[in-house]
Amino acid sequence: NAGVTQTPKFQVLKTGQSMTLQCAQDMNHEYMSWYRQDPGMGLRLIHYSVGAGITDQGEVPNGYNVSRSTTEDFPLRLLSAAPSQTSVYFCASSSIGTGVITEAFFGQGTRLTVV
């Protein structure tokens, strides 16, 4: 019963480097999303997807790209890392019940530090 799996758990990047945070879910959920968590600011939505081939921007999308080629996977790409992207990143998946997201499941998070 894996749920939502994120890799890696920890990562240190140098400014300007690129990398991909991986997220996979095994619950056949239509909806997947990426959040960043910063002290005192709760969880802020970066990008989300309501199904394979469909993605959209959240509250803080700049500097991040996503794609959704399969139902299971939703990778988050940092094109050119900046210190402001130092954060804890969470991937989540949900079923879409009657048009509203329900029963969200979160991964364990990726702690990213950009130096």
Q: Which residues bind another protein (CB under 8 A)?
A: 4, 31, 33, 35, 40-45, 48, 50, 56, 58-59, 90, 92, 96, 98-109
Rg (CA), the chain: 13
Q: Which is nearer to another protein, 12 or 41 (CB)?
A: 41
Shortest CB 81 distance to another protein, Å: 22
| DSSP tag of 73 | B
Shortest CB 68 distance to another protein, Å: 13
The one-letter amino acid at 18:
S
What CA–CA distance (Å, rounded) separates 110 from 112? Answer: 6
Q: Which is nearer to another protein, 50 or 82 (CB)?
A: 50
Q: Which is nearer to another protein, 15 or 108 (CB)?
A: 108
DSSP 40-68: TS-EEEEEEEEETTEEEE-SS-TTEEE--
Shortest CB 103 distance to another protein, Å: 6
